[in-house]
Structure 1
Amino acid sequence: MEERAVRTSVLRASFHFKDGATRIADKYHTSPIKIAKSFPLQEQLGVIVMDASPGLLAGDRYELEWHAQSSSHSYITTQSYMKVHPSPLTGKPNGSFISQNFRLEDRAIVEHMPEPVMLYKDARLHSHTNVYLGQGAVWMQADILCPGRTSRKEQFQYAEFRSSISVYCGGELIFAQRQRVIPGKQKLQAPGCWDKMTHMATFCLFTDQLTSAQIVSMKQLAQELPISEFGTHPVVIGLSETQRYGLVASAASTAAWPLQAAMRLLWHGARKIVLGKEPIHLLYS
């Protein structure tokens, strides 16, 4: 089989706070990813990232760099699901790659709420996220992982999923999470593992300004989520305090939309409890 060349696509953007509002200071992109739209949300800036291709193919590499200057406040989402296409072992490179770096200066806020990741049959995805926090900065993110196109009976037929998140505060590593899922080799549906659940989600919140009262309120919020509203799709969720400056929630269900609803409730709660701001209803619904 003919080897496919690596295609690297880059998106870089910087936000600054000026005249009472956050704006894009500069941006750069190479096809097929770009900022499709930005719009004001009071003093906050909303940004939608678009992928103009069918999705990540074997050998594709997306590199995204986000720089939030001091006191800026941005909300970043994506236009649609991230689709990851098959990546057979024959030929090189093997897999698709996405790397994101978030650099937040003092008192900057970034809310990263992308649409779910969809892993097609034989897909291989390597996802790496690095976060660098200044003093008083706040970073939030919600990720949702789908097991494949269930309507095409592709459930857990992807080849491999690797992900990592590293968070630094003041140059010190304060959180590191690694995950590797290989459905063909792991007993994901065994008791104590994923059991009957198929879709997974993670919500992260990091800031050196997190107080004990806020931690208690967020834990109570997670315990009181209206699970009954999710109908026939059960949702299990747990939220824990990290060793320093953070909260991480993990959730599981049998469909993507209940997890989107659960992540939205946690996100809206975090906006009110930690940021003292009202929910955003325009996007990620």
Structure 2
Amino acid sequence: MKNKNHLLLILGISAILVVFLATRSKIVVKDEEQAVQKTSSSQEEHDDEDSEEHQMAIPLEVQNKVAAFRKELSGASPTKTQELYSNIAQVYVQASVFDSAGYYFEKIAVQSPNKTNWTRVGEAYFQAYNLALSPQKIEAFVEKARNGFNQVLKLDPNDLNAKTNLGMTYVKSDSPMKAIGMLREVLDQNPNYVPAIMSLGGLSMQSNQFDKALIRFQNVLRIEPNNQNAKIGMAYSLIELDRKPEAKKIFEEVLNGEIDPVMKDELTKTLNSLK
């Protein structure tokens, strides 16, 4: 359904990845089943220096910034090297080249294996995984993401962020119910953990269980009354449940607030289609 696809562009699969939520709506994403089956037709780019494979073409401006930092790597102290790796990774994050960002975050984490560093590895590869189209890329990135989150959980078994994201890596796998099971485990630990509730809401929408999705988003709004993503999820669920007047009211409320321009354009189109 068109409305459902629009929501998934805006909401994404996991509401806790801020960068992913900000960039997901700017990328043309295929139907979930097609995305898993389709192989990428784009030319892979390889870096002879460090052999990381890029998920997308790298803009010249980004290449120049990265090249400048790499020049400084020669003879750099371990501390300076870590700083430069971080700078390179952040350049890639800003350009939405998440696989390459993960590559450098992992270099940092291997040398300094703390919770923060492994979290950055997991989240970068998780975003690369969600945007990948070829089965080979999906498999490679999901394994990297799982490793990052598992490393976090070894250091802190109660990290609900890592456990939620780890669960969501199973959505496109042969064991999608494992995702739901892990999210429910998170909610057993903290019934009000919004990212897990939002993720379950998104999964309910994917399976066309809009009544359940609506309840999930309503629960989020009881916890966080100003959660824009929950309002959007609720509005799209209401459309699918043929409760369009209620959906229109929510869209108008969201559009009256501060909102990302791309998201605003999508919501405006949806609202106009209801008139």
TM-score by length of 2: 0.25
Rg larger in structure: 2
Which one has the bigger helix percentage?
2
Which one has the bigger strand percentage?
1
TM-score by length of 1: 0.25
